[in-house]
Amino acid sequence: MDQSFVDYVKICCRSGKGGAGSVHFHRDKFTALGGPDGGNGGRGGHIILRGSRHHWTLLHLKYRKHVIAKAGENGSSANSTGKQGRDEVLEVPLGTVARDAETGDVILEITEDGEEKVLVYGGRGGLGNANFKSPTLQSPQFAQPGESGKTEWKILELKVLADVGLVGFPNAGKSTLLSVVSAAKPEIANYPFTTLVPQLGMVSYYDFKSFTMADIPGIIEGAHEGKGLGLRFLKHIERNASLLFMVSCEAQDIYTEYKILLNELKSYSPELIDKKRILAITKCDLLDEELERELDRELKLKMRGRNRIPVIFISAQTQYRIQELKDIIWKQINT
């Protein structure tokens, strides 16, 4: 398995302690007994996640088990607020989800380049004694301590973010298609599970337009129960805007294979069924025109009245109808 692709890390985050408020009274050569002028403490540093399109994996965080932000500085005289603690910013790929390690609850998601969200907040700075002056308390001799930082374990999980995700059984031709329509060079071989990690490719379209395509490791029946690569790959499909189902023309029953794929997705997450879909019948260089027409007629009969989706016969090897497929995808992800 490609060790450079890391889609899960668990890290201990410790945000900075807030600085203490100051107890101080104004003094100068003209004032012997001035009022309180103790400043507030600075807040402790946050742990922040920032989206970066230059990262596509969490590998750079794999061995960074502890992330520690700086403490805020104490307040001082003349109502001077202490300097806030330096934030610790972690750059993560687009599609990163942060969870609480104890409860599993989703805290935040990063989906845009440059987007910043606070993962763990730093402690608040304490108030200086100047804040506590009142008509009945002219000279407060106290201030607030800074709020402690938080130490929490967080899980960062990457769900590949792409315009279209390729869904199919092993050897359906997903990697071949990606290699033909983009600059991505996934491993291709005639045996199951050649693709062990998601592969992303940028597909060029007309007038300098483009869209992203993700080759997801092949499904097997029972994947939603963890069989095969199971849940590891299913989570990556959640973030794709559209799903391109790919079934080989060599399949014993194309429609049955498509239904199995659909059922695996539905069993994992019913919301996936609401995504836009396309069905591509692959390796059609093995068919003659008559057999293709016959298979097309059979499919249309079986899918009649069942939420009809676009169906196209293609061959990545010979480029047969590849441009037409790109047209269908582009129209679907932009409507």
Q: How would you write the chain as a 3-class SS string?
A: CCCCCCCEEEEEEECCCCCCCCCCECCECCECCCCECCCCCCCCCCEEEEECCCCCCCHHHCCCCEEECCCCCCCECCCECCCCCCCEEEEECCCEEEEECCCCCEEEEECCCCCEEEEECCCCCCCCHHHHCECCECCCCCCCCCCCCCEEEEEEEECCCCCEEEEECCCCCHHHHHHHHECCCCCCCCCCCCCCCCEEEEEECHHHCEEEEEECCCCCCCHHHCCCCHHHHHHHHCCCCEEEEEEECCCCCHHHHHHHHHHHHHHHCHHHHHCEEEEEEECHHHCCHHHHHHHHHHHHHHHCCCCCCCEEECECCCCECHHHHHHHHHHHHCC
Q: What is the pLDDT of residue 224?
A: 44
User: Tell me: the pLDDT tens digits for 281-326?
Assistant: 999 999 999 999 999 999 988 887 656 789 999 999 999 999 999 9
Low-confidence residues of the chain, pLDDT below 50?
1-2, 188-189, 191-195, 222-231
Q: What is the pLDDT of residue 304?
A: 75
Q: What is the pLDDT of residue 195?
A: 46
Q: What is the pLDDT of residue 100?
A: 96
Phi, psi of 85 (to 5 degrees): -65, 145
Sheet arrangement for strand 88-92: 88-92, 47-51, 116-120
Using a cut of 0.85, tell me whether the model's pTM lies above it.
no
Q: What is the pLDDT of residue 229?
A: 45
CB 75 within 8 A of CB 41: yes
Report the distance separating Cα 21 and Cα 140, nearest Å: 12
Residue 1 contacts by C-beta under 8 Å, 6 or more apart in sequence?
Answer: 196, 197
Q: What is the pLDDT of residue 81?
A: 97
Domains of the chain, CATH where assigned: 1-158 (2.70.210.12), 164-333 (3.40.50.300)
